[in-house]
Amino acid sequence: MAMLQVQAEHQRISILITLKESADFGANTSMLADVLQRYALGCSRDQLKTLLNWLEQNGYITLDKLTENTWVARITRSGIDVAEGISVVPGIKRPGPRG
């Protein structure tokens, strides 16, 4: 159980950092799935939707559900604070220092 919790924390911060670094502060589910896979944090589409719903419910992203399988996530100001390590949130890994 602890491994699943740690993995979810890493997935959530990876999603937030990806959205923060995106040119328009957003990405669709396909792009986010590819990013998580690249960092050995891959998950099913259902698991990704669960992560995105969690982030939306906590105010870190907004979701535009275009179709059942295609969602667009956009980071909020609160999400940027978490992605930059300014805010520390239970359930999301704090990012390491950059540089």
Number of Cα atoms under 13 Å in the Cβ half of residue 35: 20
pLDDT of residue 1: 60
| pLDDT at site 97 | 78
- For the stretch 45-98, pLDDT in tens is 999 999 999 999 999 999 999 999 899 999 999 999 999 999 999 999 999 876
Burial of 99 (0-12, 13-18, 19+ CB in 10 A): exposed
- C-alpha closest to that of 91 among 37, 36, 78, 82: 82
Q: Evaluate if pTM is beyond 0.85.
A: yes
Break the chain into its structural domains and give their ranges: 2-83
- pLDDT value at residue 96: 84
CATH 1.10.1740.10, applies to 2-83: no
Q: How confident is the model at residue 99 (pLDDT cuts 50, 70, 90)?
A: low
